[in-house]
Amino acid sequence: MRNLGSARASGHPSWVMSAGTVIPVGDALVVLRDNGPKAAAYGIRGAAAVVMSAISVLLLIA
């Protein structure tokens, strides 16, 4: 069986989560551009981006 390295060395889950953070940010920009409710853009999508960023940081330091 090959040794593919530890999860800490590869950092795979954290980098995937970090890349996924771009999705709610882009969604918020689309909502704002289309004159959607700012509460939805900042409250829902912004909060999702913040939570995903926090999770990716926790995965990086774990």
Instruction: Specify the pLDDT at position 12.
Output: 66
User: What predicted TM-score, i.e. pTM, was given to this entire model?
Assistant: 0.68
Q: Domains of the chain: which residue ranges? A: 11-61
Cβ–Cβ under 8 Å, residues 21 and 49: yes
Please give the chain's pLDDT, 62 residues, in tens.
Answer: 455 555 554 556 777 778 888 899 899 999 999 999 999 888 999 899 999 889 888 888 87
Instruction: Specify the pLDDT at position 19.
Output: 82
Question: Helical H runs in the chain?
Answer: 7-10, 12-20, 22-33, 38-39, 47-61
Instruction: Specify the pLDDT at position 32.
Output: 92
